[in-house]
Structure 1
């Protein structure tokens, strides 16, 4: 058994689409695999625990972008340390955008980001609200995208190639920079795509010299998630898995 600490960053402010619940998905799957898990809600830099094994940053509303950015700013050095220490970080939606170079709004205003992730968010022609399917090295990913911006300038690998949907634009979705994973997928993304969750857990446990082996209870959750993905695929005219 390995003890892991999962940090959920600003879970009340950045949980518009239930994305902060990705921390709960990771915790439950790790518990099913026999590990001891602590989930810590971090709302200020002073609340960051000494030992951090995984980080989840959810998505918020545009009206609270500046507030969220100002709360995240004092955490920049911690994010850098986590990146250097190969701590897996999942950032979704505006949480991802806030870690980037910046966010360009439709009215021309630019909100400076934390500069931790290459690229910036730019206005899309219209708001994107639909299911999305992505081909990735972590298997087929599906989720719901709800964003009014695309993403450009990412000097990193995309999370995957868009099979149906919009993503970043130009047939790409998300980005992967070291052990930081960024995506537009809501759902929450790890509940819909447990193989992706298991990859993050594999990375986190490897830092402790431990191996991740999914627990028996994971199978039922995996089957439910697969059925949901296939339902979306059929609706979009894509072959089931």
Structure 2
């Protein structure tokens, strides 16, 4: 019998980038990995010294505008390994502010620009009014649901979108798109945390993680029962919006 797979998931700056609970996407991945028979460890990275030597996935959450500069400075301090991992196919999920900070950057409504890392194409630009509410996408993973809460649109997203907007704003500017995907790097406005509400997306990331380590991911029995709760939440959102339930 083979030894259990040891998986390391790095969550970047959870003290700065977790205002919508998006850092908890790391815990979702870890728990589902555990249920699949692996040993998963979540490492909080608050400085370059905290960064593990090896990671299987990276989670970057969202934060307030007051956290833009300190969060960007932390990301800059780990820019080289982030770029290496992105190129090597390590799954990276970045939400909201975290997504904007690994893009070309953020244009601020008060003036000035916070430069990003340039890992993903596009940038955040101010919109006239904040958008807040349920966001539903059609995607290659089926329906994806979550909550958007942002005062910036996202322009220049030259990669593939995460999905097409069925209800909500998404990237804005009448693009009808939400998020951007390049390789195994995903940027999105979706809060929730998105992986808790959309197990199929979590399992997609875990499939990639396991395959990179030469193993096959199979959803654990415990995950199957928990996913019923996610489906109930999804159904409630879709019905409230007058959309067909998937």
| TM category, shorter | over 0.9
1:82 is aligned to: 85
The Cα of 1:125 is off from its aligned counterpart by 2.2
Structure 2 Cα separation of the partners of residues 180 and 116 of structure 1 = 9
Which ranges in structure 2 are unaligned for 5 or more consecutive residues?
Answer: none
Match of 1:4 among 2, 7, 29: 7
Structure 1 Cα separation of the partners of residues 213 and 119 of structure 2 = 25
Deviations 1:136-191 (A, max 9, x none): 11221111100001111111000000000001021100011110011100010000
Structure 1 Cα separation of the partners of residues 143 and 7 of structure 2 = 27
Match of 1:204 among 204, 209, 213: 209
The Cα of 1:223 is off from its aligned counterpart by 0.9
Q: Please list, as runs of the form range in 1=range in 2, the aligned pairs for 1:1-241 lying within 5 A after superposition.
A: 1-169=4-172, 170-241=175-246
Deviations 1:193-214 (A, max 9, x none): 0100000000011001111100
Which ranges in structure 1 are unaligned for 5 or more consecutive residues?
Answer: none
Structure 2 Cα separation of the partners of residues 135 and 45 of structure 1 = 37
Query: What TM-score, normalized by structure 2, do the two folds share?
Result: 0.96
Structure 2 Cα separation of the partners of residues 184 and 72 of structure 1 = 19
The Cα of 1:60 is off from its aligned counterpart by 0.6
SS at match of 2:221: coil
The Cα of 1:108 is off from its aligned counterpart by 2.7
Q: Retained in 2: the 8 A contact 1:139–1:196?
A: no
Q: Retained in 1: the 8 A contact 2:9–2:57?
A: yes
Query: Any runs of at least 4 consecutive aligned residues in structure 1 with deviations exceeding 2 A, and if so which?
Result: none
Query: What TM-score, normalized by structure 1, do the two folds share?
Result: 0.98
Deviations 1:100-120 (A, max 9, x none): 111111223211111111111
Superposed CA RMSD: 0.8
Structure 2 Cα separation of the partners of residues 110 and 84 of structure 1 = 26
